[in-house]
Amino acid sequence: MTSKERIVAAIRGREVDRLPWCPFFTYWWDEQPEARQKAGQPAFYREIGADALLRGPTTAFTATDLLGMAEVPLGASYNLKDDMGEATISRRADGGHKYVSWETPVGRLEVTLTYSPQGKTWFVSEHPLRKKDDYRTLQWLVEHMRILPYYSEVHAQIDELGDEGLVAPLVSPFLKSPFQSLLEHFVGTEKLCYDLFDFPEIVEETVAVMGGKAREAVRLSAQSRAEAFISWEDSSTTNLSPEMFRKYVAPEIDAWGRILHSEGKMLIHHACGHLKALLPIIAGEQIDAVESVSPPPTGDIEIWDAQALLADRVGLIGGIEPVKLQTYQGKRFEAYIREILEKTAGRHFILANSDSCPPAVTEENFRTVSRLVREQPAR
């Protein structure tokens, strides 16, 4: 089988010639030498003998930048534009901070992004929605944001990768479902919980408006040549309850899945946090795989326990805990990988490091996994 055939077969629960091994290079890749980065991830997958699953490398559409992230690594690949019509998007920088504001006929929003030298990443340090009226401003912005088809970049990546792997573009203009985006990007966990008690109607109205715009992007994406798509949900009970997930997140993901499935496409749900209490809900979603399932300490469930809940219907991608990927070496690391291989079922499973990849991970560990999956008998 080619790597692409192997990945697709595993996601769909079909027989594979061997277990797919699709490492996730987020954060690790940013610290690699310039020559390696210039050669690209597909070349490195090939070099270490792994199967290339390119998760969210770009989008199949352009969208107005309502996240304020067009110029930082998290958003730089996602074709976010300062294209707003009646509104004005302004950007300024001050040392380790970036400020992005949106001036509209109904109000003004501003987000503050702060750089973490230790984490080498930008994060939202002050959310744009700070009072009740700000939800109306966000609704106006969402209703007026422009989403247009943009297939050339995705198609070029598909052509470059060929049969060596699968390209899964990002499917949402908010990077994730509307409620999860409110929680992470626009409002913040604590305030959103208070707002749901203080004025639930306007919060739910905003989720609905964002959902309509997200589905517009999903429909455009489904017309591209990409065969699979991903959403950076970051699902975890560390920042939302199972009831919130059931009420606000799962229905939107289901809507996306129905759109994509009607065109024969697959949907991958990135869920890198504490999932034990969410998996019974995820099991019923209109998705094809849940990705970055993380064992403790990053997550709260082992991959084989997750398989017991999901593997009959939903594919699983993950299983290698990122801290252990970095800290275990030699025989200790090899024994850890062998345990995973022995305890996991053969179908509906792709082995990967979960969540992200610490910069200190060694190339030797990647190569060790490549060797071990080839030694494993097909199941």
Calpha distance 317→228 (Å, rounded): 14
- How far, in Å, CA of 377 to CA of 143, rounded? 53
Residues 168-184, mean pLDDT to the nearest whole number: 97
217 near 63, Cβ under 8 Å?
Answer: yes
Centroid of chain to Cα 222: 17
DSSP, collapsed to helix, strand or coil, labels residue 42 as helix
Q: Mean pLDDT over residues 4-31, rounded?
A: 94
When divided into structural domains, the chain yields a total of 1
Whether 289 maps to a domain, the answer reads: yes
In this prediction, residue 50 has a pLDDT band, given cuts at 50, 70 and 90, of very high
Q: DSSP readout, 294-338?
A: --TTTSSS-HHHHHHHHTTTSEEEEEE-HHHHHH--HHHHHHHHH
Kindly state whether residue 314 falls inside one of the protein's structural domains.
yes
**Could you tell me the CATH number of the domain that includes residue 32?**
3.20.20.210
Instruction: Tell me the average pLDDT of the chain.
Output: 95
Does residue 136 sit within a domain?
no
Whether residue 346 has pLDDT greater than 80: no
Looking at the domain assignment, is residue 73 inside a domain? Answer: no
What span, in angstroms and rounded, lies between the C-alpha atoms of 80 and 37? 22
- Residue 304, in any domain of the structure: yes
3-state DSSP: the chain helix, strand, coil percent, rounded to 5?
Answer: 45, 20, 35
With H, G, I as helix, E, B as strand and everything else as coil, classify residue 270.
strand
Report yes or no on 258 lying in a domain: yes
pLDDT at 311: 64
* Residue 306 included in any domain: yes
Q: In this structure, is residue 24 part of a structural domain?
A: yes
> Is residue 6 scored above 70 in pLDDT?
yes
Report whether pLDDT(355) > 80: yes
Distances (CA, A) of 118 to 14, 95, 127, 345: 42, 16, 21, 38
- Cβ(223)–Cβ(262) under 8 Å? no
Confidence of residue 377 (pLDDT cuts 50, 70, 90): confident
Q: Closest Cα to residue 201, out of 127, 104, 141, 132? A: 132
Looking at residue 301, its pLDDT comes to 94
Which residue would you say has higher pLDDT here, 345 or 324? 324
Predicted confidence at residue 84, as pLDDT, reads: 84
Instruction: Please check the confidence at residue 379 and state whether its pLDDT lies above 70.
Output: no
Q: Which amino acid is at 327?
A: T
Q: 203 is in which domain, residue-wise? A: 3-60+150-375
User: How many CB atoms neighbour CB 75 within 10 A?
Assistant: 17
Q: What is the pTM of this model?
A: 0.96
